[in-house]
Every structure is written in C-alpha cells, then in structure tokens.
Structure 1
Amino acid sequence: MSGTGRWTTPFLKQCFAVSSVALNVMSYGMVFGFNASLFSDLRKSREIPLDRDSESWLASLIGITTLIGCFSTSIIIDTIGRRPALLISSTLMVSGWIGFSLASSFPALLLAKIFQGMSIGLGTTMGGILIAEYSSPKYRGSLIATIPAALLVGVLSSHSLGLFYNWFQIAIILLFCSLPGLIIAVFTPESPTFLATKGRYDECRKVFRWLRGSEDDDELEKMIEADMIVKEAKKSCKNNLSKLIKQNLTYFVTSFKKREFYIPIFIVVHLNVINQFSGGIIHDSYPMDIHTALYGTDIYMFRVIASLDLQKIFATFLTIYLTSRIRRRPLYLTIVGLNILSLLCEAGYIYARRYNLLPFDHISIVIFLQHFHMFTSGAGGTSLTAIISNELYPMQNRGLCGMICGAFFSIYMFLNIKSATYLFSLIGVDGTFCAYAALLFYSLVVFYYMVPETKDKTLQEIEDKLRGYSIARRDETLKLKDAEL
C-alpha cells in the first residue's frame, strides 16, 4: 500500500467499511448483556411476572428468530447484496430496542426479542463474510476479530449500565447506542466479491481498489477470472429453459457434491459447537444461577460480570495480536484445550464446595477460575472461531454456506439457552459444565483433522486448498463436472 506505515489510506478505508459491521455487532452484544438486567430486575420487582418457563423462552427465543434471519440471509446477500442486508439488520435492531422501551407485558417483550433475533441472524452470518471480502489477507484476521471484540464491548456496556439503571432505562439508552451502526451502514460500499459474482467487473475493480489500493490487484484479477470461468461453463444452460429449471432445482443437491462447499460447512458446524458451548453465552444469559453456584450469593454479580467482560475484551484483542504472529491451528488447539480444562476445573470446584471436600477455600480461588474460563472462552471459542469460520466459505456459494452454518448456530443457541435452566436443576451447574467440556473436546478433534492453516492466505487460496485444485488454472478446469456447475 502507498503511504507511510500501517495507517495508509486503503487500510483506513477498510477500517471504515468494517466499522459499519462492528457497530452493528456491538448492538448484538448489548442484546445478550441486557438479559442480566432484564431478568434480575423482573425477578425482584415482578413488574412483568415471569416464571422459569417464560424466562427460558424469553432468553432462548433469540435462537429461533436468529434462525429465521439466517434463512433469509442467503437470498438477500446473494441477490440484492451485502450492504442491503446490513441496512435491514440495523433497522430490525433499532426496532427491537424501541419495542423494549415501550414494553409493559410479556408478549411485548417477546415481540422485541423477535426483531432483535432476526437482526442478529441476518447480521452475524453476513458480517463476517462482508469483513472477509472487504479486507486484504494481512489484515483480514485482525479485522474479522473485531466482530467478537465489538460483541464483547456491547455485552460490557449492558452489564455496566446494570450497575446504575433498571432494565427499562437501559433499553432507552441502548436504543440511541444502536443508531450509529445504521447511519454508517448507509455510507459503506458494496462488497467487491458480490459485484464480481453479478458480472459487474468494472464496479468490482473500482470498489476493490478504493478499499485496497493497487497492491492486491493479483487477488482481484484471480477472483474475476475464476468467476468468468464458472459463468462461461454455465452459459450453455442459460439459453435453454429446461436446463435452467433443472439447474435451479438441483442447485442445493449439486452444491453438496463440491468439496469446497461441504467441507467448510462440516467444519464450521463443529466450530459453532465450540462457540456456543464454551460457556460465554450461558454466563451472559443466566449469570445469577452461575454466580450463586460459584459464590453462594449473587450480591456481587454485576461487579464480577463487568470485570469478566473487561477480561474477555482483553482476551479478544490479545487474540487479534496473536493471529498476526502465530499460525491459526496451533493457537486454536491450545486455547480451546485450555477452555476445556477451565470448564472441568469450575465443575470440580462447584462439586467439591457443595459436598465440603475442599481442604481450603477462598473467594480468590473462584475469581481466578471464573476469569480463567472467560479468558479462554473469549480468546478461543468466540474470537478465533469467528476468524477461522469466515475464512472458509467459497466465493460462489458464500451466502448459502453462511445460511446453513448460521442456521446450525441458531439451533445450537436455542438448545443451549433453553436447556440450561433444566440442566442446572437436573445435574447442576457442575454437571452442565462437564457436558460442555465433552462437546468441546469432540469438536476440537474434528478441527484437528479437518481444518487447514489459513494465516496469510487469500480467500481464493483457501478455497483452492479445500477443493483440492485451483479453478483458475486452465488445465485443471476440466476437472469441473457439469453437475458441479
């Protein structure tokens, strides 16, 4: 890039484009953090009566509505573009906060959650894809890591406000905090990858060079060349109506026959297990239950969770730094392995404390264990998972891949949040953490055998690695079967 040092004009333009996604993701974090104040205040005031079932539905409904948002993601980002998807997501989020600020009944709370869940379902799937397409390879890992960082800043904001305000006042404050994401989204450019897939190559070059300068022209031309080859292979079908209908009907089936399609889905589905069951979501959704199990009281809950949020943010920024220095695979294996250990240590502490098996007990022990857990969850389960997942999707089917993986993410979220209170009552918080550790171990084994190294690789290089050959090389395009195209 031209200019002096890291802070060149193209890099700053990439940061500006990414900020629109980051601000919206921050709003998603505010949604998760808001649960602590909402449930804590309503349990005490009974202003809107909630029992265990209604509370679990209110917390887990976001998983179902996120699923609805995910199903619409592929259609929106592959037909009308990434930028319109970002605008729709921002609008739904603002509508959700308006709903909370006006809510006076349980159905009104549910309606607000529906808006926010659809926003999150659309935005989380699209956000990582959009950042990956905006950014150059040497900055991509760091910029994608702004997603979990922004999410955690949003969670911290909600939890910190819980120290001073009630849930209704917090909803009004967060409404105004969500507006900048909508405003900046209006001024962000469309993704150059989307423009390439639509054959708008001149616009693609213009936006790509606006974002990156001329240094990455080789990546730009390879991306356009690969798209032109695929379109040329499809051209014979476009003039034949029966072939076109058959092509559309068999699109989903034939997509799954492509290595570069089904392998990333298989990988990301398992990475989503690590993301969901690393412990962060449950700490944000049911902090009172977990803090009572660990400390025996919830009197210091908001102070402790605010410190946990700060540590998760530190862990995320540390991950951003480490991903620029260390290869993804060994870093991920180490941090998620420590996450498994932290879950087992917390479970062992709760069990030993319940049955008076501890030879020595002090509040510093549980503070250390909980912060160790949240550090490993924030660095591995949240940050690194987001970075690696968004680097694996193929260009031609990125929207469909994102939709499928986002659907699994939403299902996991719903099952995780909905089942947590029942698991707490059946096997305790300690038993629940042991079950999470088993799920993480299985998914980490899948990661070890399936995921290639992605550090400093272009998205096209990663796709070629998963496919097994380069589509841009003319002598290898004969390997493409008609059914694949």
Structure 2
Amino acid sequence: MAQIKKESNSTFDTSPNIVAWLYSVFGYSAIPWVVAVGVVTEKFGRKKPILIGSVFFVTSFIIFYTSKSSIQLLIYEIMYSSALGYGTTICILIVTEYTSPKYRGIFLAIKSASGFWGVWVSNAIGTYCHWRNIAIIGVVCSLYPLSAVFWTESPVWLASKGRFDDCTASHRQLKGQDSESEKELANLIASQKNKAKPVTFRRAVVLKEFYKPILLSIFMILQYHFSGKFVCSIYALEVIKKITASEETAYMGMLILDGFTVFSMYVGCVLSKFFKRRHMYLTSSLMANIFLYIISLYLYLVKCNFITENKVVSVMLLAILNIFLSCGPVIFSTSISGEILPIRFKMAGIIVNGLTFNLTLSTVLKISPYLFKEFGTHGAFLFYALAVTILTYLLYKYMPETKDKTLQEIEMYFKDV
C-alpha cells in the first residue's frame, strides 16, 4: 500500500477509509467461506475442498496482478479471503487429524508460522521490488494444495462416517503401526462406534464438553488479536512512523519485526518439544503483557517530553514484544484451539472458531487506525495491554495441558471437569 501511494499518476484511491477497508475486508468476507468450507468438508471429506480452494487462490492472485484500481484490489481481497476461510477451518482439521499427538503441536505451530512468512516476503517484495511481483509468488504457493490428489483421506472423517476399514488403512499409512498409534486407532474407532446420538446445536451449547472448549478457543483467539500482533504486522509502517517519525526507520523496522516474528515462531516450535504447551503459552503471554505496558508507558513519556524518543529503543521494544507473542499466543492459539475441540462437535467448533477469528481480526484491524488517532499510539498499546491481562487470567484459570495427549484423551478431560 505504501508503494501504491508513492506511484505517480496512480488510479488507486488511497484515502484513509479505503486503506482501512483494504486492510480489513478479507476477514469479513472470509466469514461465508468459513461456513461453506465447514459444510463441504463435513460432507465430502478433507481432500476435495483443498483441491477446489487452489483454483480460488490462483484466480485471486491473477486479479491482484492485473488490478488497476482500489475496487479491483477489494475484489482480490474478497476472493483471496477464501484462503483465510480455509486456513481457519480445514487446514487446522488436516493438521490435527493427519498427525500423531507427538508431532501435532509442532506441525500446527509451523502452519501458523507459514502465514507470517507470507507477510515477511510480501513486505520485502513491496520494499525492494514492484508490489505486483507478490502475485507471482502467490500463484506458485497456491499450486501446492494440488498435492492433495495424492493424499489419503482423514482417518477421523472416515471413522465418523462409519468407514472403519478405510479409517484403519488411512491411520496406519499416516501414523504407522507402533503400539501408541494402534492404541490411538482403537480409541478412535471405539469412540465413533459408541458415540452418542446426534444433537441439535441448541442442545449442544449447554453440554460442558462443547461450550468449555469453545469458550477457551474464543479466549485464545481474542487474546491473539487484542495483543496487537496482527495490527503491528499489517500497520507496521504506520505504527513505526508514528513512533520514530522516520520513514527509513519504518521500513527497516518493519522487516526486522517480520524477521523476529518468523524466527521466534520456529524457536517456539523447537521449545514446545521440551516444555509443556500450557506453561509456554502462559509464560510468553505474561511477558508480552508486561512489554505492552512498558511500550505504552515509554510512548506516553515520549509524548509528554519526559524522555527523548530513541529509534533503536523503539524498534527493540517492539521486537521483544513480537518475540514473546510469537513464541506463545501466535503459534499456540490455533494449535491448542484445534486440539481441544471434541470430535463429536469438531465441525461446529471449527466453524465457530473460524467465524470468531475472522470477525475479530477484521474488527481489530478496522478500529485500530481510529484508536491511534483518538487515543494516541500509547493509548492503543494500553488498550491492548488491558485486554491481554483479562484474557491471560482466564486462560490461566481454565486452559488444560494438551501436549502428547490424543484427541480422545483431551475430549475426556472436558467431559470430566
């Protein structure tokens, strides 16, 4: 967007209102995709929807590359929102259902990191090359889902449809035949053979095995977005310019923050092999919360001329905040929320989570420019800090440990508590 604003004789409308919509519309327009993908995935399995999605992704990047106005960019955003709908529904399902408990958390964390790789690469291309080149990388990446042609179908979906022989073959192909995998397979088949009769959504919401994991998932999603992480990624240039009053520092700081984000997410993936997820999540959330308050206080003191703004200090404070957010809430919010949803209500839970994620994401991105304008950058960070404090306390009180547990074991926890 910054590059488009600089182009002479540009036909793009770059007014603040249009820019805010360009940054946020993809989340709102992903909402119908969440429902549609959820319904199709439940009926036809995991493979076919992924193949269909690849067509939408490629088409949207072609529109992006050929765009000559802000309206065409908005059309691209609406088309590409299908990717966000897929990312918050079927992609989480695939990782949780196709991987063993031992590696599930790592794969979910890597999935989360991949999205921020996209942000980093896009920002780098927009800084050093023409912004349309982003579409070329996007088309190449969008072809990868076509590999689903060679996948086996999800064993969980096969079991839910009563296809137990196919489920057994798929499960063994994906996870082998060691004692732990065979135990997981036996529990999966037993849980589906003995599952209770289907209940309506109205009755499901009063069952603790449904509403407790759903509420926990919502708390994690809200904490993720109200931490300001996505705001700092999307509005990085604007935020750093407001803090440092230097365009050169803003571009450098944006790429540094993107680099710290991606690096920290992979560090978090490695650390999750040695530490409990709950402990890592809450510790990093607490440290991120502390730095949100520190940044708010620092910016307030700068505004009141008690101290002089230092560009290195400003960027480093944001970098440290990004490190703690990336090691915890960013990689574990989608990971744990995908794990704790009960198999019986998996699709309903995924749809609720997807709707919450996209609605909250777009709303936070839409209101953030007004927060910065009306309350100052220090006021916006104070708002984020207070929100994270409340949500971190709720997660501390109710979040269970999921490391190395099967989906059936996690489901039994919520039935017992």
Q: What TM-score do the two structures reach when normalised by structure 2?
A: 0.95
> 198-207 or 291-300, which moves further after superposition?
291-300
Aligned partner of residue 344 in structure 2, secondary structure:
coil
Give 1:161 deviation, angstroms. Answer: 1.2
Alignment of 1:181-192 (within 5 A): 181-192=144-155
Query: Do the aligned residues in 2 keep the contact of 1:147 with 1:386 (CA within 8 Å)?
Result: no
Matches within 5 A, 1:60-459: 60-179=24-143, 181-215=144-178, 216-230=181-195, 234=197, 251-358=200-307, 361-459=309-407
Offset of 1:331 from its aligned partner? 1.5
CA drift at 1:363 = 2.7
Question: Offset of 1:174 from its aligned partner?
Answer: 2.6
Deviation at 1:280, TM superposition (A): 2.1
In structure 1, how many angstroms separate the alpha carbons of the residues matched to 2:400 and 2:24?
33
1:56 to 20, 26, 48: 20
1:305-360 Cα offsets, whole Å, 9 max, x none, are 222222112211111122111112221111011111121222222222222111x6
Which string of whole-angstrom CA distances, capped at 9 and with x for unpartnered residues, describes residues 358-392 of structure 1? Answer: 1x653321122011011112112211212211110
CA distance in 2, matches of 1:421, 1:136: 42
Cα deviation 1:268-322 (Å, max 9, x = unaligned): 0110011112222112221222011221122233332222222112211111122
Distance 1:362 1:302, change over 3 A: closer
* Partner Cα separation in structure 2 for residue 452 and residue 117 of structure 1: 32
Structure 2 residues not aligned, in runs of 5+: none
Q: AA paired with 2:169?
A: K
Q: Which amino acid aligns with 2:241?
A: T
Matched with 1:474 is none
Contact kept, 8 Å, 1:131 with 1:144, in 2: the verdict is yes
2:2 maps to 40
Encode CA deviations 1:31-90: one digit per residue, 9 max, x unaligned.
xxxxxxxx1022222441221111111111011112121122321221111222322333
Judge conservation of contact 1:87–1:182 (CA < 8 Å) in 2. yes
Counterparts of 2:136 and 2:41, CA distance in 1:
31
Q: 1:430: how far off?
A: 1.3
Report the count of equivalent residues: 413
Matched letter for residue 251 of structure 2: F
Would you say the 8 A contact 2:217–2:353 is kept in 1? yes
Q: Which amino acid aligns with 1:316?
A: M
Give the 3-state SS of the residue equivalent to 2:232 in structure 1: helix
User: Sequence identity, in percent?
Assistant: 28
Deviations 1:408-462 (A, max 9, x none): 1111011101101111111012111111111111111111111111111111000
Contact persistence 1:315–1:375 (CA under 8 A): yes
Segments ≥4 residues shifted beyond 3 Å: none
Report if the CA contact (8 A) 2:37-2:86 is conserved: yes
- Relative to structure 1, is the Cα distance of residues 386 and 329 closer, same or farther in structure 2, using a 3 angstrom cutoff? same
The secondary structure found in structure 2 opposite 1:391 is helix
- CA RMSD in angstroms comes to 1.6
Which has the greater radius of gyration? 1
Task: Single out whichever of 50-59 and 263-272 deviates more from structure 2.
Answer: 50-59
Equivalent pair of 1:91/1:182 in contact (CA under 8 Å): no
SS of the residue corresponding to residue 132 of structure 2 reads: helix
CA contact (8 A) 1:74 1:399 kept: yes
Q: Could you list the per-position Cα deviations for residues 17-38 of structure 1 after superposition, in whole angstroms to 9, with x for gaps in the alignment?
A: xxxxxxxxxxxxxxxxxxxxxx
| Residues in 1 aligned to 2:205 and 2:146: alpha-carbon distance in whole angstroms | 38
Unaligned 5+ segments in structure 1 are 1-38, 235-246, 470-485
Q: Distance in 2 between matches of 1:84 and 1:338?
A: 42
Q: Is the 8 A contact 1:89 1:120 kept in 2?
A: no
